[in-house]
Amino acid sequence: MKDQFDRIEYSAFIGNDESRGAHYAAVIDALDLKNGNLVSILDIGCGSGDFEVLLANKFPHLNNILAYDPQSVQVSEAKKKSLENVEFVCCSTLHFDRDQKFDFAVSILVLPYAETQEDLNDVFAVASRHLKPCGKFISVTYNPDFDPDEEQILASRNFERLGLNGLGVKFVDPENGGVQFETKAVQHGANSYMAAAHLSGFSKISHDVLYLDKNGARMSSDNGLIARQPYMVLECIK
């Protein structure tokens, strides 16, 4: 499962994907970067660095961002962006350890690719270990209440139930309907997230469903279709 994203095709698709843009916007809202706040950010599973490009363009005052990913191809692409004040590192979550504390840790569609509860615990532990007191871990992940067997609501994604908690995801070109590539993820339950958060020392855990229309744009509400919304934003305070 961990080798699914060591591909240029994935980076190219995500770079122009409106749903991923909505994920980024939701994380930025949770970061509360208004008024020129100088904060430090750790990005767990940064991919090719698209989120860092957005941060650098919108908030040029940020001067302490560290982003890591286990996939060498993705990190190489990220480094080509030559962003000031951003350090990109190729490393796995299991081996990542810095003598540095951050105001925020973020992850965007990383938790669903933790295959076991132990893997999930490891991600939360890395976030907690590298956060300052009262620091916040913000993560976009799959909504545990999402039912992939119901009507598909995103033009760019086809979801399929795989076994008990597996989730097959087909990334689709909305213009021609062609499948660009496929991934396999885990739709962790709410109890799994709560257990990992508490085990890692987080005291406050909350989440908000991320409402998207069929094109992937954010909506203010879901018009009563809560169970069909695939994504949520998880916030944990140390």
Of 95, 197, 45, 179, which Cα lies nearest the Cα of 136? 197
pLDDT tens-place string over residues 14-65 = 666 778 888 999 999 999 887 667 789 999 999 999 999 999 999 988 889 9
* Side-chain-facing half-sphere of 69: CA atoms under 13 Å: 30
Note the helical H segments in the chain.
Answer: 8-15, 18-31, 50-58, 72-79, 117-129, 190-199
User: What is the reported pTM?
Assistant: 0.91
Domain boundaries, the chain: 8-143+188-237
pLDDT tens-place string over residues 105-121 = 999 999 999 999 999 99
**In 10 A of CB 5, how many CB atoms?**
23
70/4: higher pLDDT: 70
d(CA 126, CA 90): 15
Of 134, 76, 85, 137, which Cα lies nearest the Cα of 111? 137
Q: Is 106 helix (H, G, I), strand (E, B) or coil?
A: strand
- pLDDT tops 90 at residue 78: yes
Determine the topology of domain 8-143+188-237 in CATH: Rossmann fold (3.40.50)
pLDDT tens-place string over residues 91-102 = 999 999 999 999
**In 10 A of CB 107, how many CB atoms?**
24
The pLDDT score that the predictor gives to residue 92 is 94
| Cβ-contact 118, 225 below 8 angstroms | no
**How wide is the angle at C-alpha 70 spanned by C-alphas 76 and 75, nearest 5°?**
15
pLDDT tens-place string over residues 119-133 = 999 999 999 999 999
Which residues are bridge partners to 206 per DSSP? 235
For range 174-200, the mean pLDDT: 92
Least confident window among 21-30, 57-66, 73-82, 150-159:
150-159
What distance, in Å, lies between the first and last C-alpha atoms of the chain?
Answer: 29
Cα-atom radius of gyration of the chain, to the nearest Å? Answer: 17
In the numeric block, which tokens belong to residue 131? 């956060």
pLDDT tens-place string over residues 166-186 = 999 998 887 788 888 888 999
